[in-house]
Amino acid sequence: MTNESIWVYIQLNQDKIEPTSLQLLTKAKQIAEDKPVWAILLEPTTLTAEATIQQYGPDNILRLRDDRFAAATDEELADALEQVVTQYNPNSFLFPATTAGRSLAPRLQAKLQTGLTADCLDLAFDGDTLVQVKPTYGDNIMCDIICPDRRPQMATVRPNIFKAVRVPNSQTEVVSATFTFHPETTMTILNTTRLISQTASLSDAQTVIALGRGANQPKTIELARQLAAKMGGVVGVTRPLTDDPQFTHDQQIGQSGQTVAPDLLINLGISGAVQYTVGIQNANRIVSVNTDATAPIFADSDYGYVGDATEFLEGLLAQVK
């Protein structure tokens, strides 16, 4: 049986749906033309994510239920997915390029002997062929990649590149899948501790104060934190600042870091290397302060100021209500 459907993997982070999965449902519907969009949901019986997923309008929700999905290994998930892919033969299968997605998708890819493109920034159909836009060399180069002969065409897609749009679909059909859960006997998940995630707060924040190498002084960092607290925002940093032990990789914006989409982004002491700017393209309004008038960051900004980041911060702290 061939089925020209587009599948989207619904990643569950404990009891929450990973936002990227919902963003992918919206994107899949936009590019689908007449192909049906399926949400693939592996959930324990204690959860009912279907109602939320339906808000984003898939044609079908293929549900695999087993309590062991509450804490399953990559192999167990990949094994269950392999069973349903072989039953339905989808055209393509999209995953969030999150830690979970980037661990699971290649394992499944090897089982299915098909192609997988990592960390895509865009997707489009050319007939039945999925054209996958993938950055390489630290986002300096873009590639169009296709998988012409094998199915499904698999891709992981970078978080926050697309916006999830609610378009409730009363026709969404929930299909219960037939599969067997095969436990992986050589691996045990001892515990999973939810983190008060900097990642989530950074990628969801409406205001982000971003610090670069030109704003790495203790005083500047302290002022940025005060301003973030005052504005209800969060502090993010460029790659070089993650060498400072007070910042973690989770606070990094850009390639190999987070993609942010705030209403207001204030860049301080950031020159604007492409590895950074690719992570801020969905920011609504961008303000940048740099001592170098020729810094490339200004070309990506709505407002620019050539001057000292610390003094600018002091000005903001004094004047922002």
Partner 1 sequence: MKIVVCIKQVPSTNDVKIDPQTHNLVRSADGVINPFDKNAIEAALKLRDQTNGEVILLSMGPESYRESLLEGLAMGADSAYLLSSRALGGADTLATGYPLSQAIQKIGDVELVLFGRQSVDADTGQVGPIVAEYLNVPQVTFAEAIDLTEDHHLIGKRRLDAAEQEVEVELPAAVTVRSEMNQPRYATPRQIQKSFEKPLTVWTEQDLDLDPERIGLAGSPTQVTQVYAPAAAKKRVTMLTGTPEHAVQELLQSL
Specify whether the CB–CB gap between 134 and 118 falls below 8 A.
yes
Could you give the CA distance from residue 212 to residue 185 in angstroms, rounded to a whole number? Answer: 46
Positive or negative: CA dihedral 25, 29, 30, 32: positive
Q: Residue from 55, 87, 111, 174 that binds partner 1 (CB under 8 A)?
A: 111
- Residue 198 annotated as lining a ligand binding site: no
CB of 6 to partner 1, least distance (A): 18
Q: Is 147 in the site for partner 1 (CB under 8 A)?
A: yes
The letter for the amino acid at 131 is V
Binding segment toward partner 1, per CB under 8 A, in 12-20, 61-69, 165-173, 230-238: 12-20
Cis ω for the linkage preceding 152 (within 30 of 0): yes
Q: Is 60 in the site for partner 1 (CB under 8 A)?
A: no
**What H or E segment, with its residue span, contains residue 135?**
strand 129-136
Q: Residue from 136, 176, 217, 291 that binds partner 1 (CB under 8 A)?
A: 136
- Residue 197 annotated as lining a ligand binding site: no
Q: Residue from 40, 118, 123, 234 that binds partner 1 (CB under 8 A)?
A: 118
Binding segment toward partner 1, per CB under 8 A, in 31-39, 61-69, 164-172, 185-193: 185-193
How many residues make up the chain in this entry? 321
Strands 234-237, 264-268: pairing kind: unpaired
CB of 267 to partner 1, least distance (A): 12
CB of 277 to partner 1, least distance (A): 9
Could you give the CA distance from residue 65 to residue 116 in angstroms, rounded to a whole number? Answer: 26
- Residue 166 annotated as lining a ligand binding site: no
- Residue 254 annotated as lining a ligand binding site: yes
Q: Residue from 3, 13, 83, 206 that binds partner 1 (CB under 8 A)?
A: 13
Question: Which residues make Cβ contacts (< 8 Å) with residue 232, sequence separation at least 6?
Answer: 206, 207
Q: Is 191 in the site for partner 1 (CB under 8 A)?
A: yes
Give the pair of three-digit tokens for residue 57. 């309008």
Q: Which is nearer to partner 1, 131 or 165 (CB)?
A: 131
Could you give the CA distance from residue 29 to residue 150 in angstroms, rounded to a whole number? Answer: 22
* Contacts to partner 1 from residues 246-305, by CB under 8 A: 249, 255-256, 264, 274-275, 278, 281, 285-287, 298-305
Annotated binding site for FAD: 213, 238-239, 252-256, 290
